[in-house]
Structure 1
């Protein structure tokens, strides 16, 4: 096994073959696994150098297998989780789990979308609750409830009664983006507006918030385009 460094790192399976006369790369359309076939007597250092030379091709091929807007998530495609692309791969057992650059999904192919969506929602609730608790404690305030929805008009909201609502698709964005949205909504517990005072609270909770805010404006639509059911 070799590792192509980067974000994310890509695992490369090395397979020696008596029939191989040269290095040959293959990316499986079933599970996104990258395999390098090499002659029996080839030096592993040469194989790793070849992998690094082909890094652009490998990442481009994996990117082309990503779930496109309107396409339903399935084995062999990839989707973002905490800002990193994971290849949806058949897994064993009962639970969906992350393993390196793969998201292992048990069950039949037709169940993949539903299972992945359920996994993302659980992870989103855990991380958004942690971020909301942390920011609320920083302000010495409490929120009344936390709910998740699949909203397209907004990433979060806060009611006058202190109820927080978030889009569960935030779990696919980089962690700092999710944290910014939590900080934004918790800030409304102190300032139920978008006045300069409100943005001062946001800055206290999440300094440099303009960067994740800009990320959402640029990439948010792509997250909404991912489908998990026919």
Structure 2
């Protein structure tokens, strides 16, 4: 029986590892889309979704699941995936005259080179000055600051209502969730929520504060959230499901 030399065996092993790191790809609507597969101990079936930016197909499955089965599952739902891709709008740069959603209201961007660089909301417009180069960056920086300020106020309100200590706040641009609460009590909130209506943004903050008391989605958690949040949580969830993906088409 032939035996491979050690150096060749090591080389082949490294090559196999590199190939394993490359996600499989399937063709949907003429596009090659990577498929990211997660095997979870608690999974009992396959669940598939498209990433918010349409960059990949995500499949979670039981630990014993095979990659070939996951790919066959995705291909069997090619029409659904194609429809989801068609709904995705590629990010477009913002310029003078473009519309920007802010707290659920569309603001028209009014770029006047001689105006102050810092954006200011004025009569349904967002006025800012400076050169046109870097306009997106200045708007993004302003949105981040507004988001952090409002999130801090929301957190203070709901933590006082829940009678819990104020946690550490961090902004995130996560593609798969709007907020998260870590075991160390750090709450991360997606800055893009500043573009959603106030009630929607606040529903996410209330959700994460409820996790400070109940680190699960048990009936006790939902009862706590219902007491904390003053609005209609189901309506807020419907808004995010219907419009949330579109927020990723703004500023990339």
Residue 12 of structure 1 is matched in structure 2 by none
Contact 1:72–1:227, Cα closer than 8 Å, also in 2: yes
Unaligned runs of 5+ in 2: 1-88
Flag as ranges the 4+ runs of structure 1 deviating above 2 A: none
Q: Distance in 1 between matches of 2:208 and 2:94?
A: 30
Quote the residue 1:70 is aligned against: 91
String of CA shifts for 1:147-175, please: whole Å, max 9, x gaps.
00111110000011110001100000000
Separation of aligned partners in 2, 1:88 and 1:94: 13
Q: CA RMSD for the aligned pairs?
A: 1.2
Residue in 1 that maps onto 2:249: 225
CA positional deviation for 1:106: 1.2
After superposition, give the CA deviation of every residue in 1:80-123 in whole Å (9 maximum; x if it has no partner): 00010011111412321100110002111122100100010000
For 1:100 and 1:199, the matched residues in 2 are separated by: 39
Counterpart CA distance in 1 for 2:207 and 2:99 is 29
Aligned partner of residue 96 in structure 2, secondary structure: coil
In 1, Cα distance between the equivalents of 2:167 and 2:106? 34
Instruction: Tell me the CA shift for residue 124 of structure 1.
Output: 0.2
Deviation at 1:77, TM superposition (A): 0.7
Q: 1:213 Cα shift?
A: 1.0
Task: Report if the CA contact (8 A) 1:148-1:168 is conserved.
Answer: yes
Higher-Rg structure is 2
The answer on whether the counterparts of 2:140 and 2:251 sit within 8 Å (CA) in structure 1 is: no
8 A Cα contact 2:200 2:240, kept in partner: yes
Count, aligned residues: 161
Q: 3-state SS of the aligned residue for 1:79?
A: strand
Give the structure 2 partner of residue 25 of structure 1.
none
TM-score, length of structure 1 as denominator length:
0.68
Deviation string 1:14-72 (CA, Å, 9 cap, x unpaired) is xxxxxxxxxxxxxxxxxxxxxxxxxxxxxxxxxxxxxxxxxxxxxxxxxxxxxx64211
Where does residue 82 of structure 1 map in the other structure?
103
CA distance in 1, matches of 2:142, 2:219: 38
1:134 aligns with 2:154: no
**Structure-2 separation of matches of 1:143 and 1:83:** 26
Q: Aligned with 1:216: secondary structure?
A: helix
Q: TM-score, normalised by structure 2?
A: 0.62
